[in-house]
Chains A and B, each alone.
Chain A
Amino acid sequence: MMTLLDKTEALAPAQSAPVAELEPTQKAGAELLLDALEEQGVEVIFGYPGGAVLPIYEALHQREPIRHVMVRHEQGAVHAAEGYARSSGKVGVVLVTSGPGATNAVTGLTDALLDSIPLVCITGQVARGLIGTDAFQECDTIGITRACTKHNYLVGDARGLPAIVHEAFHVARNGRPGPVLIDLPKDVQFEKAEYVTRRVARQRNCIVTPPVQPKEIERAVELMRQARRPVFYTGGGVINAGVEASAALRALARETGFPVTSTLMGLGAFPASDPQWLGMLGMHGSFEANNAMHGCDLMIAVGARFDDRVTGRLDAFSPGSRKIQIDIDPSSVNKIVKVDMPIIGDAGAILEALLVQWRKRESDAAAPPSRLSEWTAQIQTWRGKNSFAFENSDEVIKPQFAIERLYQMTRGRDVYITTEVGQHQMWAAQHFHFDDPNRWMTSGGLGTMGYGLPAALGVQIAHPDALVIDIAGDASVQMMMQEMSTAIQHDLPVKIFILNNEYLGMVRQWQELLHDGRYSHTYSESLPDFVKLAEAYGGAGLRAEKPGELDDAINEMMAIDKPVLFDCRVSGEENVFPMIPSGAAHNQMLFGGAFTGDEVSQEGRVQV
């Protein structure tokens, strides 16, 4: 009988601790929770208190090693934990109360699920005897979050709590990472039980990462050697696989000479300053990246999941290529695009094995070094299109120009960028360049407006001395604006650089493209005065209205050791180009100029 997967064997037999070693000491559930978090190496919790987590807050009060960052909204706590996790490679931890605390966290959890961010979220729950009675601040957190977590647990008793916490971290970190939720009834928080260490806790084999298969590596290298028009298509999975994976990608790309493109989520895994870099691909990707994807004869997808923002029209997606897909998650393979060769496993280990095998085969003459020269020349002509170019202005600040200046002015600094969602996000991806992984935090899968500001706080906590900038939009930034107060309270000098076009710009662009420019409810009415708003929070406000003022203002922003709201007034009706309209193929890109109204096919119109 065909078995698709087998997780029936135990990962590690539960080791029984030497009996004499342990003085049995009973502790309250809240203490057990914190013990387990400490053992898991947790340094910071992003949270917000409430009735159902009071015992945990009481326990936290007594603890030195774990820092608690009180946010102003539970969604902010989750995004902050995401920023922390994405920029540090650690698991982000969230603590919120039952009912509204849990429901407020749902958007953040969904965001983390879609972008594969490892989180552990602890929610308070009403006491066990009250569950199901519509008690005050009761909600079915397990039911609500089943679809937006990788896994969730309702803790039945204090005895089982430590093992659940250990397993939760294991699940969050391993395989395709993601958010895990632990729903902890209030009475369990003061029920007494013994602590169980990570080593002793029963582990079940719930995540299996298969080892590298030499046969697959050999076959893949064979395909790579035959390729004349190869391309690496990399994604957020490379970032998740750690700095080793990025290093392995760089080494493999360098030795093979293959060009590299990346999804929005994968930016920084391969250095943007490298001559083999093609830029981001997809809906707003570069001409050379999308054409290389369309025209390649071998596509090597690494930790990328063929998202519809990337593939465009599926039946026209890279029609002439063989496809190798490297992914840790079997359910990501063949989901959208049928590939010729799936390789399931850790991206870093697989890329390293490919390099070793490539070197072994380098000596045979079958593949002359000149085999890529035509392809390289072709890519060079595509590059000549300079597809991210824009028409600059002396009168108004063009948003692309603002990002360019921000990029130039921050050279030499240790910079981390987060974004909100919209046009500014795409311009940031196009015009801010990343040479290292973990420097770029954006909401790719869910596209959550409001992500950037709280995410920046999490990044700043992980990297206290770094320059952390949220490249924001005037509309998005208002969704989590209250987190300015968190920034002030915790001395997190994040810089919120708002490309203020007074529009829900990305939606306006689609209305221009699809709905004849009928801008239904996309004008940003009644914007606050961002400078005064910053001051009201106790931060600093800055404004630039003319291109000539930009550099000085950016310098000033960097010099201020406080949170800053930077109101960068940019031209309002600028569109993000190039653009592959929904339902179009990779080689049917739009560049600048006005829309005519017939760019989008019937099929494309149903797509988002």
Chain B
Amino acid sequence: MENASVYPVPQEEAAVAESILAVIVDNEPGVLSRVIGLISARGYNIESLTVAEVDAEKHRSRITVVTRGTPQKIEQIKAQLGRLVPVRRVIDISEESDALTRELALVKIVSTGDKRVEAMRLAEIFRARPLDTTHTSFIFEVTGARDKINAFLDLLKPLGLTEVSRTGVLSIRRGSEAE
């Protein structure tokens, strides 16, 4: 149907892509909300977020954010993050071909019989470590790249997967150079 309003229907936006940003910040009150507020104020969802102090002496924390957006918006977000007073450095992990990224997940399986055996077998393949066992359940700890964890969870779904807790993505560069 023709648009009868004096205002047009909005056009589709450019393609969105995933982006992983590592943000080195001064660990001070409010710094996390500044960083995530800046991203969410532009209407982008944060897919994962990790944050912890990494240098107690200098009070530096490392925030790793996984978000999605058009390339231009991501560039904007990076530049704007750089403008925040407590932000020391912004590193675009997704632009790095050989950056290491890891995530940790805790996974609870509730099942018996064949399903339980199959879950055990998969856990071995994915090098997941059992942390807790009862006659009807397991809790596994698994680490790896996001894709690997996603694949593991997909396979476990029909086998009694009941609960998942994930850390979100961590990242670091290879080689001898420091950040």
Chain A residues within 8 Å of B, Cβ to Cβ: 1-8, 142-143, 146-147, 150-151, 154, 156, 167, 171, 175-176, 204, 206-207, 329-331, 333-335, 514-515, 602-603, 605-606
Contact = CB atoms under 8 A, between A and B. Distances in A.
Contacts of A333: 79
B37 A146 contact: yes
Contact of B173 (A1, A8, A146, A331): A1
Nearest to B87: A7
Interface stretch (B2-10, B143-151, B154-162): B2-10
B41 A147 contact: yes
A603 B8 CA distance: 6
Contacts of A514: 6
Contact of A6 (B29, B83, B88): B88
Contacts of B95: 2
Contacts of B72: 334
B103 interface: no
B11 to A, nearest CB: 8
Given A4-B92, A146-B34, A606 B10 contact: yes
A176 B92 CA distance: 23
A416 to B, nearest CB: 31
A204 B59 CA distance: 12
A331 B6 contact: no
B83 A602 contact: no
Interface string B75-88: 11011101111111
B86 A206 contact: yes
B49 to A, nearest CB: 18
B90 interface: yes
B22 to A, nearest CB: 8
A104 to B, nearest CB: 22
Nearest to A601: B8
A515 B6 contact: yes
Counting from the closest, the 6 A-B pairs by CB-CB distance are A331-B79, A602-B8, A5-B82, A151-B85, A206-B85, A1-B173
B6 to A, nearest CB: 5
A318 to B, nearest CB: 18
A176 B10 CA distance: 32
Contact-size category for B? 35 or more
24 contacts: A2-B95, A2-B96, A3-B89, A4-B79, A4-B89, A4-B91, A7-B87, A7-B89, A146-B33, A146-B37, A147-B37, A150-B83, A151-B84, A156-B29, A175-B83, A176-B83, A329-B83, A330-B79, A330-B83, A331-B76, A334-B72, A603-B8, A603-B11, A605-B7
Interface in B75-119: 75-76, 78-80, 82-93, 95-96, 99
Interface in B1-53: 3, 6-8, 10-11, 24, 26, 29-30, 33-34, 37, 41
Which of A5, A204, A603 has the most CB atoms of chain B within a 10 A radius of its CB? A5
Contacts of A3: 89-91
Contacts, number: 82
B57 interface: no
Contacts of B88: 6-8
A606 B87 CA distance: 35
Nearest to A597: B6
Which of A7, A156, A167, A334 has the most CB atoms of chain B within a 10 A radius of its CB? A7
Nearest to B94: A2
B91 A606 contact: no
Given A146-B34, A147-B37, 13 more contacts: A1-B99, A2-B95, A3-B90, A4-B89, A4-B91, A4-B92, A6-B89, A8-B89, A154-B29, A206-B86, A330-B79, A335-B79, A602-B7
A331 B7 contact: no
Given A142-B30, A602-B8, A605-B8, A4 B82 contact: yes
A90 to B, nearest CB: 21
Contacts of A176: 83
A335 B29 CA distance: 29
A2 B79 contact: no
B34 A5 contact: no
A606 B90 contact: no
B30 A154 contact: yes
Contact of A605 (B6, B29, B76, B79): B6
Contacts of B29: 154, 156
Contacts of B3: 602
A204 B89 CA distance: 13
A3 B23 CA distance: 10
Given A2-B95, A606-B8, A331 B80 contact: yes
A226 to B, nearest CB: 28
B91 A330 contact: no
Which of B7, B86, B87 has the most CB atoms of chain A within a 10 A radius of its CB? B7
Given A147-B37, A204-B26, A330-B82, A5 B89 contact: yes
Contacts of A147: 37, 41
A602 B2 CA distance: 12
Contacts of B96: 1-2
B179 interface: yes
Contacts of A175: 83
Contacts of B85: 150-151, 167, 171, 206-207
A329 B80 CA distance: 9
Contacts of B93: 1
A329 B41 CA distance: 19
Nearest to B179: A1
A335 B75 CA distance: 8
Which of B8, B11, B93 has the most CB atoms of chain A within a 10 A radius of its CB? B8
Nearest to B29: A154
A2 to B, nearest CB: 5
Nearest to B82: A5
Contacts of A204: 26
A7 B41 CA distance: 24
Contacts of B10: 606
A125 to B, nearest CB: 14
Nearest to A600: B6
Contacts of B26: 204
Given A146-B37, A204-B26, A206-B86, A335 B91 contact: no
A333 B29 CA distance: 30
B5 to A, nearest CB: 8
A329 B76 CA distance: 11
A151 B30 CA distance: 11
Nearest to A335: B76
Nearest to A152: B30
A204 B88 CA distance: 10
Nearest to B171: A1
Contacts of A2: 91-92, 95-96
A105 B87 CA distance: 26
Nearest to B84: A151
Contacts of A4: 78-79, 82, 89-92
